Structure 1
Amino acid sequence: MAAARTTTRPARSKAATRPARRRRTVRVDHHKRWRPNSRRGPVCGYTLDGKTCGRRGAHYCEPRADKVVKFFAELLIHPAGALANTRFELASWQEHEIIRPLFGEVIWSEQWGRYVRRYTRATVVMARKNGKSALLSGIALYMLCADGEESAEVYCAAANTRQAGKVFEPATKMVKKSPILNERLTHIKNVRRLVDEKTGSHYEAIPSDADNELGHSPHCFILDEVLSQPDDKLWKAMRTGAGARVQPLMLAITTETTDGASFGADFIDEADRVMEDPARAPHHFVFVRKMPRTVDELERLWRLFPARPELPVSLDPWDERNWAWPNPALGSFLSISALREEAEEARKDIKAENGFRQFRLNQRVSQVTRWISMDLWNACTREIAPTPDWVRERLKGERCWGGLDLSSKLDLTAFTLLFPDGSALWRFWVPESITPVLSDYTNGKFEEWVRDGWVTETEGDTIDYDRIYDDIEADHKHFKIVNVTYDKWSGEPVRQAITKRTRLKMIESDTTYLRMTAPMSELMRRLKASELAHFGNPVARWMADTVEKKSPRDDPDRLRPVKPDRDKTGKRIDGIPSLLFAVDGAMRGMPKPSVYESQGMAL
């Protein structure tokens, strides 16, 4: 779907623009990077060129990182482009933001009795023509013959064998240009394979046919352009095959996709989440450089990277100051004149604009965007509640507003109470037949949430509405509920049943732009001001992490949440619409400011 054309900066200029800064080389203190708080293991002791690492536990091992940087500089030659036939001296961003953290971060392994790389998975998301093929080829060659792995199997794959060859062929050219590698490695052309007879290792380009790739045991697997993969079968086949390796590396690199419901979109969205919260997946390295599409995304970048001079200064795709972030090679081996020419063409043609946004700015060309940044959500924890009853007792007798989002009889239903101090309390119900399905999608967490009382499981294949009515009636007695806003999709019988039991005032609503814009804007304001308290509810967090928003092409200020495809994705967001309904009810219940407060009193 075509993206909205933007030829001027957004009207909300104060929130959406940032003063330009003079660019400089970013200095990175690798020892301050987030890592697990682990002191297990002896002193590292890894030594290279007289430099010995004296750290222990999870740490950045500088000599290990030095080894990879030296491999590039001393053994590899650029195969093509402006730097052809010169030594592969890594650019500052390649060295300090990808290679050094990826290969230098280590953790003690009890299984192997040694320090191993912490990152076993890596995702790199950036615009095209930023030197990814050469970088991937260098990594593949290092993993083939310099990583200390006997009988290493290294593979690269893409949408088809031809595309995979674009990653493999630069490696063969590097080998030819390097006397040491050319003597050591053998190129078997008819099967696109490089062989290291010294270690019994090989590097090979393979097609993206998961059914024929189940017998591999990869030490390294490189997947190029994830957006072209139809599903996750190949990735899973390779990842499960790497289980016997000491320190495998699964590396995916891609530009943004246009299909928000695809495997590629899920892959990129997960990288976004890890960028926000590295503790989410300590084994997953991410390097994500995308042009933001919304003010919320832009402000998130400013929060996560407060001192980066190359950050976008606005949402304007034609402002050259915004091109450096999605194009880290800009100004070195990526020509700005080429981008200027493409931008000029894109301004005159919507199809060209979409291509420029996707491939040059690494922007998802879609009206659907992820809504809630997890750093904002985490900042609104206030306290970690051991159980939902702990929150319930703490707020007993308080005034509040309710929001009810009923699903079909076969799925999850949510009820939220919002209190004047911003505290939010959820109830979730689900038929027991759905629990195993949602548990699979959440790596077993959903069953834990049921066991710990965050979700109420009802017997049978369909949800027990009487249990829902009983719990809402109990909350009505426990709190002073002003009203309950509900989705009219639930139907008149639900309203009648709740009203009959509780005499609560029920307000009909829906998830259209008309009804959702105001509460979504208010909820985002509360999140940014830390005026919400969710007490670490894990189910609500899962849903907040999943929810997406949509705006009309001609009016980005109008909002509504997007219901996910439950059968295909396993995602659920019910707790967020129910919270929005409660916010809507609270907004209705807030006293309007007095005219004397706004205009003063005439004397």
Structure 2
Amino acid sequence: MLRGEIAVGEWVWRAVLRHYRDLVEGPARGLHFDPAAGLHVVQFIERWFRHVKGSQAGEPILLDPWQRFWTVVLYGWKLGPGGPRRFQRGLEGVPRKNGKSTWKAPQGAYLWMMDGEAGAEVYALGTTREQAMTVYAPAAANVRRWLRQSPRLQRCIKLMEGKNQEAMWLDHVALFRPLPANDDALDGLNPHAILFDELHAQKTRGLWDVMESALGARRQPLLSAITTAGWILDGICTELLDYLKRVLKGEIEDDSFFGYWYAADEGDDPYTLATWRKANPGLGTIKTLHHMQTQARKAQALPSARANFLTKDLNIFVGQEGGWFDMRVWDQCAAPVLPEHLAGRRCYGGLDLSSTRDLTAFVLVFPPDADDEPWRVLCHFWAPQAKLDEDEGDDRAPYKRWAEAGWLTVTPGDVVDYLPVKRTVQQACVLFDVVEIGYDRWNAQSTTTELMDAGVPMVEVQQTTQGVGGGAKQLELLVYGRRLHHGGNPVLRYCADNTALLMDSNENFRPDKRRSRPNGRIDGISALCTALSRAVAPGAAGPELISLDR
């Protein structure tokens, strides 16, 4: 790398340079590099651990050169010859599918068994139990194999199984277990090492602080996070990343903080092989080029996939700035939709009732009866007269013109009168075969109760990524696949132009009012995603979720 033979990003280059500078300057600060100590960890992993998943399952784990390098650096630096480990905290940033769990799980076992710490407590920490298990489970699977093969080990290692009971004990005193962030036992721990998986999912620094404060009783403790980037731009992960960058630039002197961050640099073309190699050290050995090519194609086609690609494959923190839809693509879906041509057709509804002076939206989506047909959308919008009189400028919306053209129904007063809304919903159930109408219970209880009493098939849909995420994904695929006809409804277009997304740590997304254009209304898109979420729900009588490959 220092000879220019390997291209890396700035924060890997600076981290490597720091190591070599410390070889020269570190002894004056009491630092000593013992490569044999680091190689001992590498040899432990490669001799005793096997892959537990995928095509290599059962084969010995052989670390990539970059993994060997960072392992030796992390465990090789000491506070003087024969002293304790130099690094006590760390942040390691690597894009997904570069073998993080396969690499870190054996390190957890080493810290538990081989680190010379009496009664070591090692925790695989994650925001959720499932996340914590990603580091713990591969280690436990290997220990389980050892126990099958060695009666001697069976006398000193106890492997506990069962949901929420997973743990490994060595000589009844040393513990290795997964630890979700909501565990009741977070207080009172005496950890020797904590391996924090996917720190990007933590919104605040509270959990990190609790873990850091628990390390004080150990001789050479380690609190290390290995993570990809995420969408929380003001959380503990970005805070630590900023700290790491200042350490690597020499602005802060902290010999106890370890880290590197594999990522594309600012200005890099995200769709070139050179950028992919820079950000993904395991590309071609752990992570396949085919995977990157597939993700890049999706990213070029879909806005949500682009954000996901930048974040998870190039390790760049990405906020949801800008709109969800390219309106040029949206406008290509404006083929006419005539209600009389849809009479008796099966459809699904979404109802978004305004709380004060927002728009109220009722949307119907009609799945295709044949593979070559589009999905069709009918919309109804309502607003109170006060909104037309006072909010046109702030909302940047020609409400009066839409009302005159028949796209928007106006009700007297300061808030929407729900009587014409209920009447329209009931009429739709007469004209069409309405399977379900999804609604958000917020501000909807009395209205939806009255509709259900009238025989309307109302279904509550939570406005979360779990509740409407499937509908949001379907909408994006339909629009960018040019398989949606929305009739050019200008109110729906206005909502689409305003909408930005909220993504969660599981790569699900939904429309989010807070991230969307200030004062811009997104009610029509929210109702459309609600309707689509029912249309693609398991067991729905409609087509399955489409893909770009169809």
TM-score relative to the length of structure 1: 0.47
* Secondary structure in structure 2 of the residue aligned to 1:243: coil
Q: Counterpart in 2 of 1:578?
A: none
Distance 2:136 2:308 in 1: 26
> 2:90, 2:225 within 8 Å by CA — same for their partners in 1?
yes
Question: Is residue 2:219 matched to residue 1:219?
Answer: no
Counterpart mapping for 1:297-446 below 5 A: 315-366=268-319
Q: Counterpart in 1 of 2:344?
A: none
Distance 1:278 1:192 in 2: 44
Q: 1:268 to 1:81 in 2, by over 3 A?
A: farther
Distance 2:241 2:187 in 1: 24
Q: Counterpart in 2 of 1:159?
A: 127
Instruction: Select which of 180, 185, 207 maps to 2:157.
Output: 185
- How big is each residue's C-alpha offset from its partner over 1:129-176, in whole Å with a ceiling of 9 and x where there is no partner? 111111111110000001011110111121111221122111111223
> 1:257, 1:364 within 8 Å by CA — same for their partners in 2?
yes
Q: Counterpart in 2 of 1:176?
A: 144
Distance 2:7 2:315 in 1: 21
* Secondary structure in structure 1 of the residue aligned to 2:215: helix
Q: Counterpart in 1 of 2:253?
A: 280
Question: Is residue 2:175 matched to residue 1:207?
Answer: no
Give, in angstroms, the shift of residue 238 of structure 1.
Answer: 1.4
Question: Is residue 2:97 matched to residue 1:129?
Answer: yes
> 1:144, 1:196 within 8 Å by CA — same for their partners in 2?
no
Give, in angstroms, the shift of residue 259 of structure 1.
Answer: 2.7
- How big is each residue's C-alpha offset from its partner over 1:48-85, in whole Å with a ceiling of 9 and x where there is no partner? xxxxxxxxx41210221121111111111122234321
> 2:122, 2:194 within 8 Å by CA — same for their partners in 1?
yes
Amino acid at match of 2:64: A
Question: Is residue 2:236 matched to residue 1:248?
Answer: no
Question: Is residue 2:19 matched to residue 1:62?
Answer: no
Say which is worse superposed, 282-291 or 73-82, in terms of deviation.
73-82
> 1:127, 1:326 within 8 Å by CA — same for their partners in 2?
yes
Distance 1:265 1:126 in 2: 14
Amino acid at match of 1:101: V
* Secondary structure in structure 2 of the residue aligned to 1:63: helix
Give, in angstroms, the shift of residue 120 of structure 1.
Answer: 0.5
Q: Counterpart in 2 of 1:119?
A: 87
Distance 1:362 1:29 in 2: 21
- How big is each residue's C-alpha offset from its partner over 1:517-554, in whole Å with a ceiling of 9 and x where there is no partner? xxxxxxxxxxxxxxxxxxxxxxxxxxxxxxxxxxxx9x
Question: Is residue 2:58 matched to residue 1:104?
Answer: no
Give, in angstroms, the shift of residue 33 of structure 1.
Answer: 4.3
Q: Counterpart in 2 of 1:497?
A: none
Give, in angstroms, the shift of residue 186 of structure 1.
Answer: 2.1
Instruction: Select which of 35, 56, 62 maps to 1:89.
Output: 62
* Secondary structure in structure 1 of the residue aligned to 2:36: helix
* Secondary structure in structure 2 of the residue aligned to 1:115: coil
Q: 1:118 to 1:36 in 2, by over 3 A?
A: farther
Q: Counterpart in 2 of 1:260?
A: 233
* Secondary structure in structure 1 of the residue aligned to 2:220: coil
> 2:246, 2:252 within 8 Å by CA — same for their partners in 1?
no
> 2:159, 2:167 within 8 Å by CA — same for their partners in 1?
yes
Q: 1:189 to 1:36 in 2, by over 3 A?
A: farther
Q: Counterpart in 1 of 2:207?
A: 234
Distance 1:278 1:67 in 2: 33
> 1:358, 1:365 within 8 Å by CA — same for their partners in 2?
yes
Counterpart mapping for 1:137-152 below 5 A: 137-152=105-120
Distance 2:104 2:75 in 1: 14
Give, in angstroms, the shift of residue 38 of structure 1.
Answer: 5.9
> 1:223, 1:253 within 8 Å by CA — same for their partners in 2?
yes
> 2:38, 2:76 within 8 Å by CA — same for their partners in 1?
yes
> 2:203, 2:232 within 8 Å by CA — same for their partners in 1?
no
Give, in angstroms, the shift of residue 271 of structure 1.
Answer: 2.1
Distance 1:276 1:63 in 2: 28
Distance 2:273 2:178 in 1: 37
> 2:201, 2:232 within 8 Å by CA — same for their partners in 1?
no
* Secondary structure in structure 1 of the residue aligned to 2:167: strand
Distance 1:277 1:30 in 2: 9
Q: Counterpart in 2 of 1:74?
A: 47
Give, in angstroms, the shift of residue 193 of structure 1.
Answer: 3.6
The number of aligned residues is 308
Identify unmatched segments of 5+ residues in structure 2: 322-499, 501-550
> 1:159, 1:228 within 8 Å by CA — same for their partners in 2?
yes
> 1:31, 1:60 within 8 Å by CA — same for their partners in 2?
no
Q: 1:211 to 1:276 in 2, by over 3 A?
A: farther
- How big is each residue's C-alpha offset from its partner over 1:192-247, in whole Å with a ceiling of 9 and x where there is no partner? 44333337201111120387412001000111111111211211111111101000
> 2:50, 2:61 within 8 Å by CA — same for their partners in 1?
yes
Distance 1:338 1:68 in 2: 30
Amino acid at match of 1:155: Y
Percentage of matched positions with identical amino acids: 26
Distance 2:33 2:140 in 1: 31
Distance 1:67 1:199 in 2: 25
> 1:137, 1:168 within 8 Å by CA — same for their partners in 2?
yes
> 2:94, 2:228 within 8 Å by CA — same for their partners in 1?
yes
Please tell me the root mean square deviation across aligned C-alpha atoms, in Å.
3.0
> 1:357, 1:365 within 8 Å by CA — same for their partners in 2?
yes
> 2:19, 2:73 within 8 Å by CA — same for their partners in 1?
no
Q: 1:234 to 1:367 in 2, by over 3 A?
A: closer
* Secondary structure in structure 2 of the residue aligned to 1:108: coil
Q: 1:30 to 1:89 in 2, by over 3 A?
A: farther
